[in-house]
Structures are given as C-alpha cells and as structure tokens.
Structure 1
C-alpha cells in the first residue's frame, strides 16, 4: 500500500494562537477526507479572518480538542522549540494470527505533517486559560500586529495547500469502509515527553504495522 505524505508549511505561532491554528488545520483536513456522513458546519475563527468547515461530529471535535490540550501541555514543558504533529489515515486489517495473538494491522495510506515554531510563550497559555475560554484568548492576542497578520496569511496558504493536495491526490484512497462514522480511521500523533522521540515513535509504529511505500 502506498502512503501519500503532505508536509505543510511551517507556521510561527505564539502559544495562545495554537488552539485556533490547529482547529483550522485539523478540521479542514478531516472534513476533506470525510466519508459523506457529515453535516458541514461553517466556523468563523475568532483569531483570524478565516472561515473553515467542521464535520459536525461531536466525537471528532472532542478528540481534536483533547489533542490540542495535550500539545499545549507539551509546549509548556518545551518552550521556544519547533515541533510537529502528524495526522495519519489508515486501514484496519486482520493480521495473520499466531498461536499467541490475533492483532489488527494498521495500513497507513495518508499522513499530514503540521510544523510549528512556537515563539514567546505566554503565562496565559495554561490549561485553565485554554479550557474553552476563547473570549479571553482573543483579548490576550493583539490581532493588529504585523506578526499576527503574517501568521494569518501563512495559515491561509496552509489551508490552500491542504485543498490542493486533496484535489490532486485521490488514487491512493482506499475503498470506503462500511462503518457508521464520519471519517476513515485516523490518529493524531504528538511529540512525546522526549524531544527526539517523536520520530522514533513513528518509526516503531511503521515497523509494527508494516512499512508503507512513501511518496513525496
């Protein structure tokens, strides 16, 4: 199985901007790879002059918010460092049974790498602030600065990059599974406690599930 990989443009963000940036990107990718069982929901970003679309699925939205919280917790422990998040789509296959196990194999067919350079972490980035306190988040961010305007432009470029990729890369998409869900099986992989372990985690996962052919 071929695995298409998309490396999105790196974004320079302040900590308070992380949740909204990730919502825009993750929801856009998942919406464009949705299975058709969605009720599209247009969302106006509260930090940027950008509208993106959600699938309208509560479980999916909850999972994204949990991953954002986990990523923010990582950023708090690793300030002023570049990081990456990987959104992977996969098929589930029954692996050949052995005398001691009958495992489900994950065959990855698409991966999206989100790159962030988090600068000037703020004390208001903690979970207490992030827990849906979006109004406070907006008030804490100066949306008139040239840096914020540059981020908005770059975020738009990333969203267009996503749309271009999904329109051009279609042959690798597996048959639609007969499932009562809005998305193909997916996972969101975050940096681990160790700075260098993200890559090793991905390598180990590939070794465990069968290494797909990577296409640029």
Structure 2
C-alpha cells in the first residue's frame, strides 16, 4: 500500500475551496474508468486545477467538505500560541482521508467472498487559522497559494513516479477501484499498516 501525507495551513475561509482543489486533483489522476475532464477547468487562488466532470463525485466532495469544516470548528485538537506569518496564532486541526481499494475474491470451503483491499491512501492534515488583521490575511492567502501550487505539482510527481502498486484492472465496471473519503475525527483512526510513505513537505 502506498501512503501519501499532505500537510497544509489555511485561513478558515479558504479551507473548503483549497481542499476541494486538492481532492479533485487526486481523483482526476486516480479514476481509471471512462472519465471526462471538467471544461472549463476550475480555479482557486488564481491556480487552475484538474477535475472530473462527475456530478455525483462533486456532490460527495461538497458533502465531505461540509463535514470537514464542521469537524474543524469543533476540533479538540486545538493548539494555542503557535507562531505563523510573523504573529501568534491559534490553530485547529483535522484530517480528511481518501482510500482506493481493490476488490479481491477470498475462497473458503464451499464458498467465495469478496473483500476490499486498500492499495493507496492519501491523508491530508489541515491546520485552520484565523488572520487577525488585513495584512496578515494577505500573507496567509499568499502562503495558501504557494502551498496549493506545490501540492498540485507534487500530486503529479507522485502519480507519475509510483505506478507499480496499482492493481491490474480486472473488471469492466465504470469505476474499477472503489474509493472512500473519511474524516477520522468522526470515525476511526487511519490505517495502521504502512508499507511506503511519501511526505509532502
């Protein structure tokens, strides 16, 4: 299994749009069925990012992002007096996780069962901050732009450099690999077994 960890610090007001850009970029490169790019492409912070023309996926992302922002607003992972952008900030932290699975048939005496085995996991660690004045808001927005640009490029590098772990497509279904989007603070911890880790600085 390939595990990718992404860390990002964002203004609370930018979280929904920026995290959607990251998730959309991941799904654009990890949906192997018959997909169509969204046209015209979307843009956030003057950065164009790829996304799939799939209303069902788009609705799912919006639902999860609503729950993510709610989780951040009520997060118990609250860190006070953390310096950021030349000032003292309070941060709230949360995660959103994307898993991709392979369907495997498990044989037993006189029966067969199907199980889903995770072959790739993306963990996005979000720190939410609230700028205290206009100049700080500008600095935080510029930082968000730089982080997003770097992350989108890193996603491209990761998917291009890591292909051997992708299972063979053994189905004619439109989506050969089931996926799951979760917010660990709402459910359980992420997978404990890690075979390979790539850290996006």
TM-score normalised according to structure 2 size: 0.78
Give 2:182's match in structure 1, choosing from 174, 182, 189: 189
Give 2:104's match in structure 1, choosing from 84, 87, 93: 93
Q: In structure 1, how many angstroms separate the alpha carbons of the residues matched to 2:94 and 2:137?
A: 26
> 1:38 Cα shift?
1.0
> 1:176 Cα shift?
1.8
Q: In structure 2, how many angstroms separate the alpha carbons of the residues matched to 1:25 and 1:179?
A: 28
Q: Which runs of 5+ in 2 are unaligned?
A: 79-90
Q: In structure 1, how many angstroms separate the alpha carbons of the residues matched to 2:181 and 2:126?
A: 15
Secondary structure of the residue that 2:41 maps to in structure 1? strand
Secondary structure of the residue that 2:191 maps to in structure 1? helix
Does structure 1 residue 214 correspond to structure 2 residue 195? yes
Q: Which runs of 5+ in 1 are unaligned?
A: 123-140, 204-210
Q: How does 1:112-191 map to 2 (within 5 A)?
A: 112-120=122-130, 145-182=138-175, 184-191=177-184
Alignment match, 1:30: 27
Across the aligned residues of Structure 1 and Structure 2, the Cα RMSD in angstroms comes to 2.9
> 1:95 Cα shift?
3.6
Structure 1 ranges of 4+ moved more than 4 A: 96-99, 141-144
Q: In structure 1, how many angstroms separate the alpha carbons of the residues matched to 2:71 and 2:13?
A: 14
Does structure 1 residue 39 correspond to structure 2 residue 49? no
Query: Residues 168-204 of structure 1: CA distance to partner in whole angstroms, max 9, x if unpaired?
Result: 00011111242442562111121224xxx642x534x
Which structure has greater strand proportion? 2
Alignment match, 2:84: none
Q: In structure 2, how many angstroms separate the alpha carbons of the residues matched to 1:118 and 1:62?
A: 23
Residues 100 and 179 in structure 2, CA contact (< 8 A), matched pair in contact too: yes
Query: Residues 50-109 of structure 1: CA distance to partner in whole angstroms, max 9, x if unpaired?
Result: 11111111111111111111111211211632222211111122344589x975322111
